[in-house]
Amino acid sequence: MVRTQLIPRGIRDERVLDAMRKVPRHLFVDESMQYRAYDDMALSIGEGQTISQPYMVAIMTELLELKGNEKILEIGTGSGYQAAILAELAKEVYSVERIAPLASRAEEKLHAIGYQNVHVKIDDGTLGWVEEAPFDRIIITAGAPKVPDPLTEQLAEDGILLAPVGDRFSQQLVKMIKREGMISEEFHTLCVFVPLIGKHGWEGGEEH
Ligand code: SAM
């Protein structure tokens, strides 16, 4: 996966490549899907949701520019795989998932594998995690119509926020950097994520 998908597409951060080599991605998908776990694609994790394509996890992680000391907020725990990669590269990871069975499964797996620095909460992540703010890094792993205001407010000074922003079917990765209270934006790759549903996201999902 690292040799055939990530390095040829330009992932260069050795710490990110090492984390992608180390974290057992197959443990974050259903047993029946494990033979596809390292393929170049997103996979179903149930509840209509997905574990993101390895390249997308790698590029998002690289864009966060992690040094090892950061407190990170992730919105969209899903399988827990991205949280595990972040846990390898930063100090603490706070991850919010709105679908309870996914959150519980991910938390169980992360703890069983040995990640003590990941904290999972069931909630609408568009509200952030007020009690733990501010965060040095914030990563949204679902497609948003716009970056939720509570999240930019909970971003620390010199912090980086990364989000796929667009319509329900396609988005572009937006990287925001907060300096002296001002936000600047960079635009990166096009992408396709399941929708971010919540008060400051898309409407819907009353079934959960
Ligand atoms: N990061 C995940 C992983 O490594 O498996 C993949 C995330 S999946 C593409 C998007 C996730 O965002 C889904 O599990 C979905 O339920 C969740 N989600 C959508 N809206 C949310 C919200 N407002 N708050 C928290 N989670 C949300």
Answer yes or no: is the C-beta of 61 below 6 A from any ligand 1 atom. no
Q: What is the mean pLDDT of the chain?
A: 97
Quote the CA–CA distance of 75 and 177 in Å, as a whole number.
Answer: 17
Q: Minimal CA–CA distance to 23: which of 107, 130, 109?
A: 109
Quote the CA–CA distance of 184 and 115 in Å, as a whole number.
Answer: 33
User: Looking at the predicted structure, is the pLDDT value of residue 68 above 90?
Assistant: yes
Residue with tokens 């590269």: 89
Q: What pLDDT, on a 0 to 100 scale, did the predictor assign at position 204?
A: 85
Q: Looking at the chain, how many residues does it have?
A: 208
Q: What pLDDT, on a 0 to 100 scale, did the predictor assign at position 24?
A: 98
pLDDT tens, position by position, 167-199: 999 999 999 999 999 999 999 999 999 999 999
State the distance from the centre of ligand 1 to the C-alpha of 172, rounded, in angstroms. Answer: 17
Answer yes or no: is the C-beta of 56 below 6 A from any ligand 1 atom. no
User: Looking at the predicted structure, is the pLDDT value of residue 208 above 60?
Assistant: no
User: Looking at the predicted structure, is the pLDDT value of residue 128 above 70?
Assistant: yes
What is the sign, positive or negative, of the torsion defined by CA atoms of 50, 142, 61, 109?
Answer: negative
Decide if 44 is catalytic.
Answer: no
pLDDT tens, position by position, 107-123: 999 999 999 999 999 99
The CB-based long-range contact list for 8-14 (8 Å cut-off, 24+ gap) reads 9/55, 9/59, 11/55, 11/58, 11/59, 11/62, 12/62, 13/61, 13/62
Tokens found for residue 36 = 């596809």
User: Looking at the predicted structure, is the pLDDT value of residue 206 above 70?
Assistant: no
What is the sign, positive or negative, of the torsion defined by CA atoms of 157, 188, 72, 169?
Answer: positive
Quote the CA–CA distance of 43 and 207 in Å, as a whole number.
Answer: 22
State the distance from the centre of ligand 1 to the C-alpha of 120, rounded, in angstroms. Answer: 12
Atom number in ligand 1 closest to CA 197: 20
Tokens found for residue 23 = 């974290």
Q: What percent of the chain has pLDDT over 70?
A: 98
Count CB-CB contacts under 10 A for residue 2: 17
pLDDT tens, position by position, 70-82: 999 999 999 999 9
Write the DSSP symbol of residue 195.
B
Helix then strand then coil, in percent of the chain rounded to 5, is 35, 30, 35
User: Looking at the predicted structure, is the pLDDT value of residue 101 above 70?
Assistant: yes
Q: Is 206 left (phi over 0), alpha (psi -120 to 50) or beta?
A: alpha
Amino acid making up residue 182: M
State the distance from the centre of ligand 1 to the C-alpha of 111, rounded, in angstroms. Answer: 19
| Ligand 1 pocket mutation pick from 25, 43, 72, 75 by most atoms within 8 angstroms of CB | 75
User: Looking at the predicted structure, is the pLDDT value of residue 205 above 80?
Assistant: no
| Ligand 1 pocket mutation pick from 88, 98, 109, 121 by most atoms within 8 angstroms of CB | 98
Answer yes or no: is the C-beta of 142 below 6 A from any ligand 1 atom. yes
User: Looking at the predicted structure, is the pLDDT value of residue 153 above 80?
Assistant: yes
User: pTM of the entire structure?
Assistant: 0.97
